[in-house]
Structure 1
């Protein structure tokens, strides 16, 4: 049995999220929550909310025990890219790519 939580269209680049996801993969949920609380990255705030949501899904929808849960898989996929224009010298324009992310978090119970 597994519990999933999704976070879509987050306005943060996937490569920044991936760094924090590597820290919490295969960790028990209480340790993963502690890691996210004390990691000084922008992605850790939205991942903390996502982890709380996944824990609530596991407890309420699948009747799982919170103490036995661990992060079995977590991954990030690129979402749509917002394309903006930045004015430059001599009438030129450079393109600024504002990337978005789709984050998935899966929790399982230890056997």
Structure 2
């Protein structure tokens, strides 16, 4: 039986978060948490919190053994973008897109 956790509107680019998500996809949940703890990326901290939340959700069900959990599915989707403008030469302006992410982690028993 699978459980999931979702974090929405996280202020990190989905492209950067997917680099971290690809590393832990299919891993044992405990090993994935350890890997994320020592990874020097901003997305690793956020994804670790979502993964720990999914494991805690699984722990609430009596039928699931937490020690056998693995990361069945992890998706990083784009959220709404904050649109900002930066001044440029000769009175022009360029748009800066500050991207957000929706991170979904699904864990299941092996």
TM-score normalised over the length of structure 1: 0.95
Corresponding residue number in structure 1 for 2:45: 45
* 3-state SS of 2:40 partner: coil
| 1:38-77 map, 5 Å | 38-61=38-61, 63-77=63-77
| 2-structure distance, mates of 1:106, 1:82 | 28
Corresponding residue number in structure 1 for 2:9: 9
> How many Å apart are 1:62 and its aligned residue?
5.8
Corresponding residue number in structure 2 for 1:89: 89
Query: Unpaired runs of 5+ in structure 2?
Result: none
Query: Unpaired runs of 5+ in structure 1?
Result: none
| 2-structure distance, mates of 1:54, 1:74 | 11
User: How many residues are treated as equivalent by the alignment?
Assistant: 110
TM-score normalised over the length of structure 2: 0.96
Contact 1:3–1:62, Cα closer than 8 Å, also in 2: no
| 2-structure distance, mates of 1:101, 1:75 | 10
